[in-house]
Structure 1
Amino acid sequence: MSGDRSPARDAGPRGFLRHFRRDRFTGQLAIGLAGVLCVSALVYGVGTASAKYRLADVGAWLNASAKGLVVHANGLAGKVDGKAAVVPQMRGHHIKVVQDGTTVLLVDTDTGVVSRIDPSQLKITTSRAAGGAGLQVLAGSGTAYTIDSVKGLVQRIDPVSLAPIGPSATLTAPLGQAGIDGEGSLWVPVPQNGQVVPVRNGRPAAPVTAGRAGDRLALTVAAGTPVIVDSTTAAALVVRPEGVQRVTLPAQVSQAADGVRVPPVADGQIVPMLGVGGSLYLLDTGAGRVESVALRVPHHAFEAPHVLGPRVYLPDRTAGRLLVFNTDKGAWEAPITASRPGGTIEVITRDHMLWVNDPDGSTALALDPNGAIRHVQKYADHVPGGNRRPIPVRADPGNGNGNRNGGGPGHGGDDPVPPPGQPPRPPAKQDPTAPDPPTPIASGDNGSIKVRFTPAVQPQGVYPVGRFVLLGADDQPVKGATPAQFPGTAQSGTFTVDGLKCDGTTHRFKVAAEYKGKNRRTAYSSSGVVGATACTAPGPPTALSATGVNHGAQLTWAKAAGYDVTYVIESPAGTASTTGTSKTITGLTNNTTSQITVTSHNGAGDSTPVSTTVNLAYPTKQIKNQNNGQTNTIIRPGPSASGENGKIPKDVYITMTVVCQAKGDSFHDPESNTTSSVWDQVQTQYGNGYLSDTLVATSKGAYPASGLYECE
Structure 2
Amino acid sequence: MMWGVRQRCTALITAARTRLGPGPKPGPKPGPRPTGNRVTGYIAIGAVGTLIGTSLAVGAGESGTRPRLADVGAWLAGSEKGEVAHAHGLTGDVDGKVVLPAGMAGHPVSVAQDGDTTLVLDERTGEVVRIDASQLSAAQSADYGAAGLQLVSGGAYAYVVDPHKGTVQRIDPAMTTPESPPVDVGGKPGAAVVDAEGTLWVPLPDSGTVVPFTKGLKGTAVKVAEAGHDLALTLADGHPVVTDGTAGVMRVLTATGVQGSFDLGDAVTGTDPDDVLVPAGTDGSAVPVLAAGTGDLVVVDVRSRHTTRAHVQTEGHELGAPHLLGKRVYIPDESTGRLLVYDTALSTPAPPVPVTEGAGELELFVRDGLLWVNDPDGSAAAVIDADGEVRHIGKYRTEVPSAREPGDEPIEDSIPTGVPGGPVPPPPGAPNATAPVTDPPSGNPSGDPSGQPPGPGPGGPTQPEPEPGAPGAPQAESRSGAIRITFAKALGATPQRYVLKGATPDQTVTPDGVGPDGPYTFEVRGGSCDEQYSFTVVAEYGGGKPDKESAPSALARPCIAPGAPRGLTFTPAERGHGGTLTWDAPQDAEGTVTYTVNGPGGSVQITERSHRFEKLRNSTKHWVAVMARNAAGSGTATDGWMDLTPPSQQMTIVNNTANDVPVGIRSLPTTVGSGRPGEIPGNKDGEVTQVTTVHCNVRGQENSYGDETTDVWAYHTFHSPVTNKDIIGYTSDLYVNSRSNPKVWDCE
TM-score tier by shorter-chain length is 0.7 to 0.9
Q: Deviations over 1:445-478 (max 9, x none)?
A: 44x44141212552x6x99798554449xxxx88
TM-score, normalised to structure 1, is 0.72
Alpha carbons 2:277, 2:322 under 8 Å: kept: yes
Question: Structure 2: how far apart are the matches of 1:571 and 1:370?
Answer: 47
Alpha carbons 2:379, 2:394 under 8 Å: kept: yes
Query: Does residue 572 of the first structure (1) align with residue 600 of the second (2)?
Result: yes
How far residue 216 of structure 1 moved from its aligned partner, in angstroms, is 0.8
Q: Deviations over 1:627-680 (max 9, x none)?
A: 9889x999999xxxx999999989775635455568999999999xxx999967
1:271 maps to amino acid: V
Distance 1:146 1:67, change over 3 A: closer
Query: Does residue 72 of the first structure (1) align with residue 100 of the second (2)?
Result: no
* 1:375 aligned partner: 392
1:313 maps to amino acid: Y
How far residue 382 of structure 1 moved from its aligned partner, in angstroms, is 2.8
2:534 maps to amino acid: F
* 1:342 aligned partner: 359
How far residue 166 of structure 1 moved from its aligned partner, in angstroms, is 1.6
1:443 maps to amino acid: E
From 191, 215, 219, give the equivalent of 1:201. 215
* 1:441 aligned partner: 475
Question: Structure 1: how far apart are the matches of 2:673 and 2:158?
Answer: 66
How far residue 233 of structure 1 moved from its aligned partner, in angstroms, is 2.1
How far residue 547 of structure 1 moved from its aligned partner, in angstroms, is 4.9
Using the TM superposition, name which of 222-231 and 659-668 deviates more: 659-668
User: Where does structure 1 lack aligned partners over 5 or more consecutive residues?
Assistant: 6-24, 33-46, 395-419, 425-432
* 1:226 aligned partner: 240
2:130 maps to amino acid: R
**SS class of match (2:276):** coil
Alpha carbons 2:44, 2:280 under 8 Å: kept: no
Question: Structure 1: how far apart are the matches of 2:236 and 2:603?
Answer: 31
Question: Structure 2: how far apart are the matches of 1:659 and 1:97?
Answer: 60
How far residue 109 of structure 1 moved from its aligned partner, in angstroms, is 1.6
From 373, 376, 382, give the equivalent of 1:365. 382
Query: Does residue 453 of the first structure (1) align with residue 480 of the second (2)?
Result: no
Matches within 5 A, 1:483-562: 486=513, 489=516, 491-503=518-530, 507-513=532-538, 524-527=549-552, 529-542=553-566, 544-549=568-573, 550-551=575-576, 552-553=578-579, 555=581, 559-562=585-588
Question: Structure 2: how far apart are the matches of 1:354 and 1:163?
Answer: 32
Using the TM superposition, name which of 482-491 and 174-183 deviates more: 482-491
Query: Does residue 28 of the first structure (1) align with residue 46 of the second (2)?
Result: yes
**SS class of match (2:400):** coil
* 2:144 aligned partner: 130
Alpha carbons 1:438, 1:511 under 8 Å: kept: no
**SS class of match (2:168):** strand
* 1:411 aligned partner: none
Alpha carbons 2:711, 2:732 under 8 Å: kept: no
Question: Structure 2: how far apart are the matches of 1:525 and 1:439?
Answer: 5
Question: Structure 1: how far apart are the matches of 2:496 and 2:102?
Answer: 55
Question: Structure 2: how far apart are the matches of 1:294 and 1:74?
Answer: 34
* 1:272 aligned partner: 288
Query: Does residue 256 of the first structure (1) align with residue 292 of the second (2)?
Result: no
Alpha carbons 1:64, 1:359 under 8 Å: kept: yes
User: Where does structure 2 lack aligned partners over 5 or more consecutive residues?
Assistant: 6-42, 51-58, 417-426, 432-466, 721-726
Identity of aligned residues (%): 31
How far residue 344 of structure 1 moved from its aligned partner, in angstroms, is 3.4
* 2:744 aligned partner: 708
Alignment RMSD, CA only? 5.0
**SS class of match (2:203):** strand
Using the TM superposition, name which of 358-367 and 296-305 deviates more: 358-367
Alpha carbons 1:145, 1:154 under 8 Å: kept: yes
Question: Structure 1: how far apart are the matches of 2:654 and 2:662?
Answer: 9
Question: Structure 2: how far apart are the matches of 1:266 and 1:331?
Answer: 22
Alpha carbons 1:470, 1:485 under 8 Å: kept: no
From 336, 340, 356, give the equivalent of 1:323. 340
2:623 maps to amino acid: Q
How far residue 296 of structure 1 moved from its aligned partner, in angstroms, is 3.0
Using the TM superposition, name which of 298-307 and 491-500 deviates more: 491-500
Alpha carbons 1:153, 1:169 under 8 Å: kept: yes
From 588, 594, 598, give the equivalent of 2:626. 598
How far residue 332 of structure 1 moved from its aligned partner, in angstroms, is 4.1
1:117 maps to amino acid: I
Matches within 5 A, 1:380-391: 380=397, 382-385=399-402, 386=404, 388-391=410-413
Question: Structure 1: how far apart are the matches of 2:187 and 2:145?
Answer: 14
Question: Structure 2: how far apart are the matches of 1:623 and 1:27?
Answer: 67
Alpha carbons 2:474, 2:551 under 8 Å: kept: no
**SS class of match (2:158):** strand
* 1:617 aligned partner: 646
How far residue 241 of structure 1 moved from its aligned partner, in angstroms, is 6.5
Distance 1:287 1:48, change over 3 A: same
Aligned length: 623
Q: Deviations over 1:553-593 (max 9, x none)?
A: 45565653222455544432666777777766544323333
Q: Deviations over 1:450-509 (max 9, x none)?
A: 141212552x6x99798554449xxxx888452597468364544555444445x5x152
Alpha carbons 2:201, 2:212 under 8 Å: kept: yes
From 690, 704, 715, give the equivalent of 1:655. 690
Q: Deviations over 1:611-631 (max 9, x none)?
A: 12413225333124269889x
* 1:11 aligned partner: none
Using the TM superposition, name which of 535-544 and 61-70 deviates more: 61-70
Question: Structure 2: how far apart are the matches of 1:309 and 1:26?
Answer: 21
1:563 maps to amino acid: A
Query: Does residue 192 of the first structure (1) align with residue 206 of the second (2)?
Result: yes
Higher relative contact order (CA 8 A, sep 6+): 1
Alpha carbons 1:70, 1:84 under 8 Å: kept: yes
Question: Structure 2: how far apart are the matches of 1:352 and 1:292?
Answer: 23
Alpha carbons 2:170, 2:179 under 8 Å: kept: yes
Question: Structure 2: how far apart are the matches of 1:690 and 1:540?
Answer: 48
* 2:637 aligned partner: 608
Distance 1:363 1:670, change over 3 A: closer
* 1:482 aligned partner: 509
